[in-house]
Structure 1
Amino acid sequence: MRHNKSGRKLGRVSEHRRALFRNQLKSLITHERIITTLPKAKELRPIAERVVTLGRRTDSVHARRLAARWLDDRDLVHRLFTEIGPRFTSRPGGYTRIVKLGPRRGDGAELAILEFVDFKLPEAKGKATGESKKERKKRTPAAAKAEASGPAPK
């Protein structure tokens, strides 16, 4: 019987599960937001909180080595201790949030977003106004030249 056993197996053996969490944690540190299934997000959250707490407290060799157990990439460890950790110095915990997305179309698995609480979507680099493609095309000098020379021959 499975009484009082914590954690989900997620249909994987322990080494596969650890590799999954390491890869997802690396993606979370890199992109600050990942889309995954709800059970995976719920299992990854405490690991991510622990690693961010390491990056938040002190920048010691010991803390970096403990973080490297999960991240195993020097650049990610550096980013954790220089960018992500200092952002949360005033926060005593709860660095991540889980936002439910709904069922996945293929198999109906419940999807969720795991992201840092201070994550902001980057601004769109495209058009700033709500003008259409035709209006933008009219504005460009090449389009004005083409109109001035007359209609295109058929």
Structure 2
Amino acid sequence: MPAPAKGPRLGGGPAHERLMLNNLAAALFEHKRITTTVTKAKRLRPVAERLITFAKRGDLASRRRVQAAISARTNTNKGIIHELFTEIAPQLANREGGYTRITKIGNRKGDNAPMAVIELVLEPVSPKQAVVAEATKAAERAAAPKAEPVVEAEVEETAAAEAPAEAEVEETAAAEAEVAAEETEAPAAEAEAKDDDAK
């Protein structure tokens, strides 16, 4: 018998193991949580999550693959498949994996086997990445207004620096105008003085 890919065999052969895990998956989808041994729960998790991934796709090929895994010979299993595609998959549509949760509950009374509860995680997802993205955007928004006043302050400083230069230019122009006026007034005053002397 070939060695299994993950962990020890759960008794019997590979076909028996596959049927046992598929039946556990059907029970999980029907009841939303089941109590089993820790080993079976760990082996059930990838099987159940793969079937949920097919259900999230929702197309005919995916439905047939799930029906092949969960034997749909009885009306009960057909109802379970319908529930998986119509109720469970839409609830897990926003979740990108991690559809099941395993909680250890102690040892079984008879043979002291470690037991666990495996359940579907149907709570609404609170994605940490979305929160981080919002915080990053908020930080960028908070940083952006700070950058704009600095630019405005630089413009104001530049304008303030240019204002005295303009004032100096205006003062220089006014002084030159006064000098030019005095120069034109001085020859006129001399001419008037000569005319007065001549009279």
Q: Secondary structure at the match of 2:110?
A: coil
Which residue of 93, 98, 103 maps to 2:102?
Answer: 98
Letter aligned with residue 19 of structure 1: L
Decide whether the 8 Å contact of 2:92 with 2:99 is kept in 1. yes
Question: In 2 relative to 1, CA 20–65 (structure 1 residues): closer, same or farther, beyond 3 Å?
Answer: same
- Name the structure 2 match of 1:39: 39
Shift of 1:3: 9.1
CA distance in 2, matches of 1:4, 1:30: 28
Match of 2:70 in 1: 71
Distance 1:71-1:3 versus aligned 2 partners, 3 A rule: closer
Q: What code does the residue aligned with 1:10 have?
A: L
Identify the residue that residue 56 of structure 2 maps to in structure 1: 56
Structure 1 runs (4+) deviating above 3 angstroms are 2-5
Counterparts of residues 103-118 of structure 1 (less than 5 Å) = 103-118=107-122
Distance 1:108 1:118 in 2: 31
Matched AA of 1:61: L
Distance in 2 between residues matched to 1:47 and 1:8, nearest whole Å: 16
Q: Shift in Å at residue 89 of structure 1?
A: 0.6
TM-score normalized with structure 1 length: 0.71
2:24 counterpart residue number:
24
Aligned length: 117
Aligned residue number for residue 138 of structure 1? none
1:5 Cα shift? 4.6
Gapped regions of structure 1 (runs ≥ 5): 120-154
What are the equivalent positions in structure 2 for 1:82-97 lying under 5 Å apart? 82-97=86-101
Which is further off, 63-72 or 95-104? Answer: 63-72
Q: Is the 8 A contact 1:8 1:43 kept in 2?
A: no
Name the CA distance, whole Å, in 2 between partners of 1:108 and 1:84: 33
Alpha-carbon offset, residue 23 of structure 1 = 1.3
Q: Determine the C-alpha separation between the residues in 2 that align with 1:6 and 1:17.
A: 12
Contact 2:22 2:47 in 1 (8 A): no
Identical columns (%): 41
Farther-moved stretch of structure 1 (24-33 vs 72-81): 72-81
Query: What is the rounded CA distance, in whole Å, between the counterparts of 2:40 and 2:20 in structure 1?
Result: 9
Larger Rg: 2
Q: Secondary structure at the match of 1:102?
A: strand
| CA apart distance, 1:97 | 0.3
Higher RCO structure, 1 or 2 (CA under 8 Å, sep 6+)? 1
